[in-house]
Chains A and B, each alone.
Chain A
Amino acid sequence: MKRKVITACFIIVCFLLQSTVFSVLQFASIRPNLMIILTSAFGFMRGRKTGMAVGFASGLLMDVCWGGVLGFYTLIFTVIGYLNGSFKRLFFDEDIKLPLGLIAGSELAYGLTVYVCFFMMRGDFRFGHYLIHVVMPELVYTILVTIILYQVILHINRKLEAEEQRSASRFV
């Protein structure tokens, strides 16, 4: 229960940061994508179901609050959460390479999907330009933010896990 509340808080706080604070902290009109970090991190830390749940919740929030087509971000983020959850077996706390790689991969997949669905479908084939001016800068900025945000998520996850183990052993 406590874990669910904390996860919900994470989603809401990241969403608020993304839509208010980071619109001021833009570099060359590019902002990082906190929701990807969150979905991806919860995916490979906690498994497929949590990844899907977090992806679904944050995608729905984005769909409702940022306009556009309802269900689009929800779909992308749910799938991203699920795929990241498949890497739970490979995940170790100390290793930062796998998280960074997975988050970068998710970010790239997200960028490409948005391009294909909203730009290529309208007959806009300047893929190279979008790749260099939107997708890659966003990826780099997201990775930079990941290094900080990921530590926070990891730390809280560790604490929660320790607590859960303690309360579980009490019932033996």
Chain B
Amino acid sequence: MKIRNQNTIPSKYVLLILVIVCGILLGAERFLDGGGPLSWIANYTIVPMQRGISYAGTWMSDVSDNFATLSDLRKENEQLQERVDQLTIDNTRLNQEQYELERLQELYKLDQNYGDYEKVGAHVIATGGTNWFSTFTIDKGSNDGIREDMNVLAGSGLAGIVTEVGPNYAQVRSVIDDESNLSGMVLSTSDLCIVRGDLTLMEDGRIRFENLPNNDNEIEVGEQVVTSHISSTYLQGLFIGYISEINVDSNNLTRSGYITPAVDFTNLQEVLVITKTKADLTAEDDAQEEGE
């Protein structure tokens, strides 16, 4: 038999040591800023593997999509053609209104346009593996100019916010996560509300809104909710979703209900990261005001 080391430490002391290490890690969290050297190691070991798997998965789903039948494609093409026609008409009308708006904005010296944030595309390479939180990892990090608190879009809607950045990856907390909480605005009436994710609603893919003032403005199901101007981390005017249910609270002062997000969180593959944070914008505004 192999000669075994007789002076090994009893396992309960090992447990004690490890628990103390965990305690130190928990305490060091605020100085390390999300892993510190550990996240650097993960960046060059785990993240490339996740990237590989997710690319392979995307490739495979692309291949299986190629087997869609011709008749389905024709039908879809017809529908899309109709859609294009409709959108062209809308677009012309909106263009006219846009010119008018620009003219009026010039008159009022309001030239901020919230639709034109600079964006950078990224792939979703992994999701947080627990059932309690809804986070995902994207394949761009501080090397690509991603910073904390940057807003993330998917398609036309708000998907989440960057919470942690490594050299080549970034963690995003989605808006349906239980810890997500942001200030929203009903587009048609400009009434403000609080939009918060809720784990109990996550499986239906809905989020809750609260504290909408119960005033004379009539708000119906299907109206759009965007991010408001009072949030400190979310940029103004990003589309969150449509109201799917609205009720007056028992206090008769506020209204609350549910929003169906514009983003389908079950199948996120590509996202757009807005490369300006709200802090940048407000800092710019302050600098301008000081300059004047």
Chain A residues engaging chain B, CB cutoff 8 angstroms: 12, 15-16, 18-24, 26, 28-31, 33-35, 47-49, 52, 56, 60-72, 74-75, 78-79, 82, 85, 114-115, 118-119, 126, 129-130, 133-134, 137-138, 168, 171-172
Contacts and interface: CB of A to CB of B under 8 A. Distances in A.
A67 B135 contact: yes
Interface of B: 1-2, 11, 14-15, 18-19, 21-26, 28-29, 32, 34-35, 38-39, 41-42, 46-47, 49-50, 53-54, 57, 125-133, 135, 137, 163-164, 171, 173, 178, 199-200, 202-203, 266
A52 B18 contact: yes
A12 B46 contact: yes
Q: Counting chain A CB atoms within 10 Å of each CB, which of B14, B47, B125, B202 scores highest?
A: B14
Nearest to A29: B203
A118 B134 CA distance: 14
Given A62-B129, A66-B128, A138-B131, A16 B171 contact: no
A52 B127 CA distance: 26
A78 to B, nearest CB: 5
B25 A18 contact: no
**Which residue, of A35, A49, A65, A79, has the highest number of chain B Cβ atoms within 10 A?**
A65
B26 to A, nearest CB: 4
A16 B50 contact: yes
Given A16-B50, A68-B133, A75 B22 contact: yes
Given A19-B129, A20-B50, A49-B11, A60 B38 contact: yes
Contacts of A34: 129
A60 B34 CA distance: 12
B46 A61 contact: yes
A44 to B, nearest CB: 14
Given A20-B57, A52-B18, A114-B130, A65 B46 contact: yes
Nearest to B8: A49
Contacts of A133: 200, 203
Contacts of A66: 128-130, 133, 135, 171
Contacts of A138: 131
B127 A75 contact: no
The residue in B46, B163, B178 that gathers the most chain A C-beta atoms within 10 A of its C-beta is B46
A42 to B, nearest CB: 14
B15 A48 contact: yes
A69 B26 contact: yes
A12 B164 contact: no
A64 B15 contact: no
Contact of A74 (B2, B25, B127, B266): B25
A64 B202 contact: no
Given A49-B11, A75-B26, 4 more contacts: A20-B53, A20-B54, A31-B129, A119-B132
